[in-house]
Amino acid sequence: MSEFEDVMKKAVTFYGDIKLKKEQLEVLEAVYEGRDCVAVLPTGFGKSVIFHLIPYLTPQPKTVIVVAPITALMEDQLQSLSEKEISACSISMDGTFYNTVSQEDGCIKTVSMNHFDIADFRLVYAHPETVTTNSRIRKLLLTKRFQEIVCCIVIDEVHMVSEWGDSFRPSFSKLGELTAIFTRIPHLALTATATPKCVEQLCEILQLRNVKLVFSNPDRPNIYYEVKTRLPNIKKYDKYDDLIMLLCTELKSLKSNFPVTICYMDSLESLAYCYLFAEEFLGEVAYDPKEQIPENRIFAMFHKDYTNKMKTHIITELRKPEPKIRLVLATVALGMGLNAPAVTHIVHFRPPTSLEKYMQEITVG
C-alpha cells in the first residue's frame, strides 16, 4: 500500500462509509502532493466530498478554507457536515460574524468574529468579497496561526471567476491574491462546467502553479431533451402564458405527485410575472397544509436577492427524497452547487447565455 493510500484509508474513517471515484482520488492525491489542481466534474459527482476529506490528509487534522458564491448553499453544507460530526462554519460577507451548527439543537447559530478560532473548524466557508476586500479578514489570513493551520484553499464554482469577475462580482477576479497570501499550500479549483479555454484563463487569473487537471465527461445519458415553441412576444411577458399555464394545470391536478421541476427564467421581471400567474391560478391549492405561510407553498421562486432564510428552505427541501416544493421558478442563482436528485424536470423558458450555464442547470437533478 502506497503512502497516499494509507493516508486515504485513515481519512475516510472521519467521513463514514464512502467509495471514492477515480477522479476524486486523483484530485486528493494532487492536493496531498502539494500541487495546485483544477477539477471539472459534473453536478452530483461528489466534488464537495473531495474538500471535506482534505483536512484529514495531514497527520493532525487541519483546516480548509472554501470560497463559495452563495450563502444558502454554504448553510446547506454546514448542516450536511454537522450530520457527519465534521466542524464547519461560514463567515459573513462583512466579516463581523460567523454561522455554525449548534451541537445542542442542530440549528444554525450566529457568533461574533471576536470569538473565532480557526483551529475549531475543519472547514471554513467564505464569500470571495470576504477574503479579498474585507480588511479584518485579510489581516486574519496573514496571521501566523492561519498560515500554520490552513492546509488548502478551495474555490468552488470557479467558472464564476471568468463569468462574473469583470463586472457583476469583481471580487471573483481578485481570488488570485489568495495564492500570494498562502504560498506553501495547494489551491484547488472546482466546477461542473468549464471549457479548456476557460480552464486556461482560470489558471492565469488564480496564479496557479504546477497544475494538475482532472476532467470527467459531463454527458448524462439519462437526460431526455425536448424543444417546445412558445407564444410570440405580443405584450412582453404573455409569451410565457401557455408554458406556465401547462405547468400550473398539472401541478394543481397532481399536487404532491407532480414531478419536482425547476423552471429557469431569463430575468427577475419574467420570474415575477410567472410567479404571480401561478399564485393566482393555484389559489389555496398552493399550500400544503393550507395555512398560507411561505414554508407551506408547493411552488416557490429563487433568485439572488431572495431572503437567505427562504433560499435555505428551498435548497433544503429540494435535497429531500420527496420535497414539499414541487415547482421552483428560478434565475441562474439556483444552478450553482445544487445537487438535488429529486428534481426530474428542468424547463428553460429562454436559452441560457452560454453552454456552460446550460450544462450547470440541466444537471442539478
pLDDT average per 10 residues of sequence, the chain (365 residues): 90 88 98 97 90 96 93 85 94 95 88 96 96 94 96 90 61 88 96 86 91 88 82 77 94 96 93 95 89 89 88 88 95 78 92 78 75
Q: How many domains, in total, are found in the chain? A: 2
* Assigned domain for 311 exists: yes
* Assigned domain for 302 exists: yes
Do 154 and 277 fall into the same domain? no
Do 128 and 269 fall into the same domain? no
Do 145 and 242 fall into the same domain? no
pLDDT value of residue 285: 92
Q: In the chain, what's the furthest Cα-to-Cα distance?
A: 68
pLDDT value of residue 266: 85
* Assigned domain for 233 exists: no
* Assigned domain for 230 exists: no
- CA triple 29-32-38, angle to 5 deg: 65
Which residue is associated with the grid cell 427541501? 317
C-alpha cell at 150: 490552513
pLDDT value of residue 155: 94
153 Cβ contact partners less than 8 Å away, ≥ 6 residues apart: 64, 65, 67, 178, 179, 182, 185, 186, 187, 188
pTM attached to this predicted model? 0.85
State the residue range of the domain holding 49: 3-215
Do 12 and 62 fall into the same domain? yes
Q: What are phi and psi of 31, to 5 degrees?
A: -65, -40
Which residue is associated with the grid cell 429557469? 264
Last residue within a domain, chosen from 182, 215, 248: 215
169 Cβ contact partners less than 8 Å away, ≥ 6 residues apart: 69, 128, 129, 160
Other C-beta atoms closer than 10 Å to the C-beta of 120 total 14
Do 179 and 135 fall into the same domain? yes
